[in-house]
Structure 1
Amino acid sequence: MSFFQAHEAVVLGPGEGTNFHVLGELITVLVSGTQTNGAFTQYAATSPAGGGTPLHTHHNEDEAFYVLEGVFEVQCGEETIRAEAGAFVFAPRGIPHKLTNLGPGSGKRLGIVSPAGFEGFWEEISQLPTPPDRDTLKALATKYRLEIHAGEG
């Protein structure tokens, strides 16, 4: 990764950041844990029509996102909502969540993960063949204390 050193200002122009292709999504890391002394990672994500995330649970990080464009169906715990541009979702660690882009085009969101470190998952998975085999994905998820709920949601 070509991230800056800690304690340096981060200023990015449009389209800048570190891009990772993760299970059909484009994840752009805007500021990494290295840059925030491990406090958080800020990212932008683009989901294709019908794309999104599987039902999953972070056991180490809280995650929040703000919908910039499109319409997503978001499941967070027992609640499922329709999240349009301007909607905000906070998924504390330990709460299963997923999102699906309902629109005919790409959906975009701005997210934050705290504490930082989960960007390592995105970097590692982006280097695997697409789609990654189930055992490799499971091992990588375990490394990052991520539970992917197979066959659910």
Structure 2
Amino acid sequence: MSLPIILQPGEGESVKIRTSTCTFKVTGEHTHGHFGLFEFVMEPGTEGASPHIHKELTEMFYVVEGEVELVLDRQRVNAAPKTFILVPQNTPHGFSNPGTTSSTLLILFCPADSREEYFQGLAELTKDGRQPSQEELLELMQKFDQYPVPKD
């Protein structure tokens, strides 16, 4: 049986990925695999996620604060707070914070899979400023239904 969850600001397990912090607010463990909700805080000038697709996941983004540049099917969108984007399966997408202030993005994954393990793996690969190899990144991505899309 699932129990209700209340997380105050700053609460939830989090991992550091370079200059960003990803906090797992709800994972598939809490929702019987239906969805996961993560809070992603990016410092100014953060690259974020380069364009990729998911073959099994639908992903949704909601900008809480700051400005986020979203890439959706090769179109760049400057997303202000309260912007929502639905990314269907097999749709190229990515995000970054090219601005001068911190930004916060909520990311919802359906189904949840074990998506937090991808972010935990990425945090481990980039720990202490380490630059992972392309092979390491590809191996991690493919374990969790993430496939890179070549840049234009």
Q: Is the 8 A contact 1:19 1:28 kept in 2?
A: yes
Q: What per-residue deviation string (whole Å, max 9, x for no partner) do you get for residues 31-68 of structure 1?
A: 11000000000110011212121111112211111111
Q: 2:118 aligns with which of 113, 118, 121?
A: 121
Q: 1:54 aligns with which of 50, 53, 56?
A: 50
Aligned to 2:147: 147
Alpha-carbon separation, structure 1, partners of 2:119 and 2:24: 9
Within 5 Å, give how 1:6-21 maps onto structure 2.
Answer: 7-21=2-16
TM-score by length of 1: 0.88
Unaligned runs of 5+ in 2: none
C-alpha displacement of 1:23: 5.0
CA RMSD of aligned residues (A): 1.6
Alpha-carbon separation, structure 2, partners of 1:88 and 1:31: 19
Within 5 Å, give how 1:57-96 maps onto structure 2.
Answer: 57-96=53-92
Aligned to 1:73, the other structure's residue is in SS state: strand
Aligned to 1:127, the other structure's residue is in SS state: helix
Identify, as 1 or 2, the structure richer in helix: 2
Alpha-carbon separation, structure 2, partners of 1:66 and 1:120: 21
Aligned to 2:138: 138
1:41 pairs with 2:36: yes
C-alpha displacement of 1:8: 1.3
Aligned to 2:95: 99
Q: Is the 8 A contact 1:57 1:93 kept in 2?
A: yes
Pairs aligned (count): 147
C-alpha displacement of 1:75: 1.4
C-alpha displacement of 1:97: 0.5
Alpha-carbon separation, structure 1, partners of 2:51 and 2:41: 17
Unaligned runs of 5+ in 1: 1-5
Aligned to 1:74, the other structure's residue is in SS state: strand
